[in-house]
Structure formats: structure tokens, C-alpha cells
Amino acid sequence: MSAKLIGQSKQFDEKINNIKARFFSAKDDFKKYYVYYNKNPEVNEFQNYYANSKNQLQQMSKGLFLITNNIDKNIEILDNNMSATALKLEDERKLNTELLALLNNLQNTQNGSVILIDDSKDSYNTQYYYNWEIIAGILIVSSLLAKMFIPAAISGKS
């Protein structure tokens, strides 16, 4: 789109410069033949030159009008494109804001889950060591009870 517009703007510039280059010569001819025609209206040659120079200026004016009209159309097209792009950009900004909020929530959730996992590991390790302490305590108490009651049971049988 941009290259097309640059090409069109160069074409418009060339056309305008072409009209500009021819305008002063055509204006001078028009002035000269206008004076000749008004001084000698009966001379057909002056009438023809005057009509030709007037027609040449009108054609330049018409060409310049068409060029400015095309430029206005292109400006309108660009304005519509820019408006559409601005709307898309605004939608993308809203989406970006929503996605950033979601990302922030997910990071907070991840941080929370990491903390929960760490807490669960600590709780598990605490319970694990407590279970081993209970098993050790049961074994110690069992061995003490066995030492106390087995010799008494053996001496009580005899």
C-alpha cells in the first residue's frame, strides 16, 4: 500500500510540475492573443489563437482539478485506512491489557502453587519424621517391655 501511494504521489507531483511548467507560457500566450483579439476582433487568425490559448488554459485548469480531486480521493482512502487501523490498534491494546492481566494472574497462581507445594513438602517431611519417631519409640518401648517381662516370665515358670 505504501509503495503504491508513493508511486501515485510521484505521478501527481510530475503532473502538477508539468502543468506548472506549461502554465506561464500558456498564460503569456493568452494575454498576448487576448489583447490582439480585442484590438482586432475581425481577424480570424487572432480569434483562432485566442480560442486555442483559452482552451489550453482551460485544459490545464481541468487537469489540475482532476489531479486535486484524485489527491482528495487518496487522502480520503488513507483516512479510512488509518481509522480502520486505529480501531484495530485499540482492539489490540485492549486485548493486550486483558492478556497482561491474565498473565499476571497466572504468575500469581504459579507463585501461589509453588508456595503450596513447598508447604506440602514441609508438612510431608514433618509427618514423615514424626512417623519415624513413633516407630522408634514403639521399638524402644517394646524392647524395654520385653526385657522387663521376659526375664520375669522365665523366672516365674521355673
Letter string b/e over residues 22-56, b meaning 16 or more CB atoms within 10 A of that residue's CB: eeeebeebbeebeebbeeeeeeeebeebbeebbeb
Q: Give the dihedral sign, CA 116/122/124/126.
A: negative
Per-residue pLDDT tens, the chain, 158 aa: give them.
Answer: 667 777 888 888 899 899 888 888 889 988 998 898 889 888 889 889 989 999 999 999 999 999 999 999 989 988 999 999 999 999 999 999 999 998 888 888 887 788 888 889 999 999 999 999 999 999 999 999 888 888 766 766 65
Evaluate if pTM is beyond 0.75: no
Q: Give the dihedral sign, CA 62/21/75/77.
A: positive
8-state DSSP, 61: H
Among the listed residues 59, 58, 37, the one whose alpha carbon sits nearest the alpha carbon of residue 47:
37
8-state DSSP, 40: -
C-alpha–C-alpha distance, residues 86 and 109, integer Å: 34
